[in-house]
A and B are shown apart, each in its own frame.
Chain A
Amino acid sequence: MTEPRVPLVGVRDLRKRYRSGDTTLEVLRGVDFELAQGEFVSIVGQSGSGKSTLLHLMGLLDAADSGEIRLDGVRVDGVSASRRDRLRNTAIGMVFQAYHLLPELDALENVLAPLLVRHGIFEWMKVRRPMRDRARALLDRFGLGGRLHHKPRQLSGGEMQRVAIARALVTRPRVLLADEPTGNLDESTGAEILDTLCELNRADGLSIVLVTHDAAVAKRADRIVRLAAGRVDDACHASPRKAG
């Protein structure tokens, strides 16, 4: 089982505490987690088990109290703010339960947003055309070719989530972190989104970490990691799809 290859994402002994007044809440109590290149992993757990926190830490949206996070073997926790911003922009794509699209921008602009963040105004003028094509191609692929200039409020939940996935992928990230992407969707729409993710994993070799509390959703992944009380529950280390 132990491969000489460096895992894409490596998390070791990660701890995170939240303080509110006198009480301290230990959310993560030493989590170890690895994601191989091209792997699709589900992290499941009950509410409060720390799965979202783990995802946020891996997405560099928050800082851990101790432990380390490596991306391609390089430590990414504790780096400077600008480098962290840069990594978030280039290496990590994130998808959220509530879609988190910018309401002022239309679908195409939302997909382009991370690229707009990356490039300054003059740089953008130069790279604008290929970037637009890339975003348009992604939206086409997700069946949104005809809705490029709709504002988020004019789109359905499934469409918004697909726009959000396109936005996460437009930067060609190393890893896609999805936080309950089907949580706000009905069953069939949620299934479509999951199909999309599986298809991305299979066809493009995209590495995906999916956080969910829904066992049915988690089953679609290569491997399920269960979090309980801030630790990885080793009892359940099944790889349902590959095993089955």
Chain B
Amino acid sequence: MYKLLLCWRYLRTRWIALASVVSVTLGVATMIVVNAVMAGFSHEMQTRIHGILSDLVFESHSLSGFQDPQWHMEEMRRAAGDDIVGMTPTVAVPAMLNFQVRGQWVTRQIMFIGIDEATHAQVSDFGRYLQHPANRTQLSFDLRDGGYDTVDSQSESAAPTRPALEGAGWSHRRMRIERERVWRERLEAERTPTEAAEPAVGPTRSVDQQVDAVLAATTEAPVEAAQPTPRRADPFQQARPEEGVRMDPANEQFTGVVPGIGLASFRDSSGIDRFLVLPGDDVKVTFPTSGTPPKAVSDTFTIVDFYESKMSEYDSNFVFVPITALQRMRGMIDPQTGIGSVNSIQIKLRDGADLEVVRDKLRKVFPADLYAVATWRDKQGPLLAAVDMEMSVLNILLFLIIAVAGFGILAIFFMIVVEKTRDIGILKALGASAGGIGGIFLGYGLFLGIVGAGAGLALGLSIAWNINTIRAGVEWCTGERVFDPSIYYFYRIPSIVHPLTVLWIMVGAVGIAVGSSVLPALRAARLHPVEALRHD
């Protein structure tokens, strides 16, 4: 009982000891905040990675892909059917994106991904990241009339940061076509008669659409028309009939594509997104065919929406296109059967399924020299591992801060033991055991640890929970942008407090406080009562 009483009294009368736990408090608070923010970032990142990558990705090593995805999917269902809830084939090829901005051609290196618009959203969060509300529920590669979000649908702020998307869609397309026509007429009016011999060429349908027209016209020979003949530069040249080539761009579109938002826009310092091209504009994409060796073919597409996962790696790299169009253009459709090849199948598993177990099951069925099966974590393994390592290193460093605080406690406790030597002698004379005397100081250390860590907990949690308010306050005070959304693509600092992490931090901090009071406690316990009583 005297231990508790004395601990309590010492706690109330020795403020210097409380000063020594300030560093424990600060260390705990910092650790909680850093862990919360890191966990927040990590979570955001994983969500985004997982948002575009399905649970499992089944790929062929060959760019030309494998034939008959349906058969593959059936095999997979046979191997791990219980865990699979959705599958969708995709074709992904490296490609080049070209678009014209004020007369200059801008070229971007991209990953051109053919997706099945009906099923793709089922296996990943793909749909959530589109800019048109209707596309978020069901993606369509047809250009919308308008109604694109001017507000970032994933941010909580209601400020319209994308005013340019206001007029996007058909109205933007028609205005642009009209402007181009006026320009062209003006140019033609200025031209001398000799130059006019070369007639101005109006827009033509894309090659793919021309094939569509042929297919529609000649029902009996789809095989002939679609068959790629490797020796010809343009596989569709012969098949191109004159009718169906001309199009009315004001009322018709090319094949729709959904590029990542980072390819077409940049964020200025005030947080407004500026767009180089808009839904309704046409772009050219150059991509390899599936023959050997692959040849580069180009075609024209119309942007129908933007994709924004907030993972800049994806947002500035991916362009989505209907899978059938890509298969046709690359010559991936088997002329005999009409079945298209794919080079990847995205698989969604039921909630709670063990990704690695299913992956290994599939790996057993499909030979590794032909197919690669990977979980979404495997795909981004280095990145996730880097983040994890960063977190561990930070935790070690921050924990050292608390350890340093432990040495402060040690020093101050030694001083308190010296100061209290006579009292220790008195207590021993009154019959207190050595263990009891040691217990006072251990208990004192425990109290201080709890007080310090508790204060740190309160401070850390209040910072972690209000970090965006604090950031706003700091920005208001200093006039500097602390957290620039144009760098991070987040509008607010993410912060997730994991109770278990907090618990471990608390246990560690209290443990250090107790641990560093062990030596002083031992010293106190070993004091000789007679000498202690003589001490002044």
Contacts and interface: CB of A to CB of B under 8 A. Distances in A.
Contact of B431 (A89, A96, A104, A121): A89
A147 interface: no
A56 B1 CA distance: 26
A244 interface: no
Given A117-B2, A121-B1, A85 B422 contact: no
A59 B533 CA distance: 13
Nearest to B431: A89
Interface in A89-142: 89-90, 94, 96, 100-105, 109, 113-114, 116-121, 123-124
23 contacts: A56-B530, A59-B429, A61-B428, A61-B533, A62-B528, A62-B529, A82-B433, A85-B428, A88-B429, A89-B430, A90-B431, A94-B429, A96-B533, A101-B426, A102-B6, A104-B9, A105-B9, A113-B430, A116-B5, A117-B2, A117-B431, A121-B4, A167-B430
Contacts of B428: 61, 85, 88
A98 B213 CA distance: 112
Interface in B409-463: 422-423, 425-434, 436
Contact of A81 (B425, B429, B433): B433
Interface of B: 1-2, 4-6, 9-10, 13, 422-423, 425-434, 436, 528-530, 533
Contact of B429 (A86, A90, A100): A100
Given A86-B431, A90-B431, A101-B426, 11 more contacts: A62-B528, A88-B428, A89-B430, A89-B432, A103-B423, A104-B10, A116-B1, A117-B2, A117-B427, A118-B431, A124-B1
Contacts of A90: 431
Nearest to A128: B1
Contact of A105 (B5, B422, B429, B434): B5
With a 10 A CB-CB cut-off, give which of A90, A103, A116, A124 has the most chain B CB atoms: A116
A120 B13 CA distance: 23
A170 to B, nearest CB: 10
B531 to A, nearest CB: 9
A104 B7 CA distance: 10
A161 B6 CA distance: 21
Interface of B is mostly: helix
A118 B9 CA distance: 19
A81 B525 CA distance: 12
Nearest to B433: A85
A93 to B, nearest CB: 9
Contact of A88 (B6, B13, B430, B530): B430
Interface residues on A, range: 20 to 34
Contacts of B4: 121
Interface of A is mostly: helix
Given A96-B533, A109-B5, A119-B1, A114 B431 contact: yes
A113 B439 CA distance: 16
A209 B115 CA distance: 101
A109 B6 CA distance: 11
A16 to B, nearest CB: 11
Contacts of B434: 81
A49 B208 CA distance: 118
A117 B533 contact: no
Nearest to A109: B5
A61 B530 CA distance: 6
A62 B10 CA distance: 28
Contact of B423 (A81, A102, A116, A119): A102
B1 A88 contact: no
With a 10 A CB-CB cut-off, give which of A86, A88, A119, A167 has the most chain B CB atoms: A88
A150 to B, nearest CB: 15
B253 to A, nearest CB: 82
Contacts of A101: 426
Contact of B1 (A82, A94, A120): A120
B433 A100 contact: no
B140 to A, nearest CB: 73
A85 B432 contact: yes
Contacts of B533: 61, 96, 100
What 8 A-B pairs have minimum CB-CB distances, sorted nearest first? A89-B431, A104-B9, A116-B2, A88-B431, A124-B1, A114-B430, A61-B529, A116-B1
With a 10 A CB-CB cut-off, give which of B2, B425, B427 has the most chain A CB atoms: B2
A117 B436 CA distance: 8
A122 to B, nearest CB: 9
A100 B530 contact: no
B6 A117 contact: no
B440 to A, nearest CB: 11
Contacts of A114: 430-431
B407 to A, nearest CB: 26
A121 B436 CA distance: 13
Nearest to B5: A116
Interface string A43-86: 00000000000001001011000000000000000000110011
Contacts of B528: 62
With a 10 A CB-CB cut-off, give which of A81, A86, A100, A167 has the most chain B CB atoms: A100
A85 B6 CA distance: 19
Contacts of B429: 59, 61, 88, 94, 96, 100
Contacts of B9: 104-105
A105 B10 CA distance: 10
Contacts of A87: 431
A104 B1 contact: no
B43 to A, nearest CB: 45
Given A61-B533, A121-B4, A104 B13 contact: yes
A113 B431 CA distance: 10
With a 10 A CB-CB cut-off, give which of B425, B529, B533 has the most chain A CB atoms: B533
Contacts of B10: 104
Contacts of A105: 5, 9
B270 to A, nearest CB: 61
A88 B425 CA distance: 12
A117 B440 CA distance: 11
A88 B427 CA distance: 10
A159 to B, nearest CB: 17
A117 B5 contact: no
Nearest to B432: A117
Nearest to A53: B530
Given A61-B529, A105-B5, A117 B13 contact: no
Nearest to B4: A121
With a 10 A CB-CB cut-off, give which of B9, B429, B529 has the most chain A CB atoms: B429
Contacts of A85: 428, 431-433
A179 B432 CA distance: 20
A88 to B, nearest CB: 4
Contacts of A121: 1, 4
Contacts of B13: 104
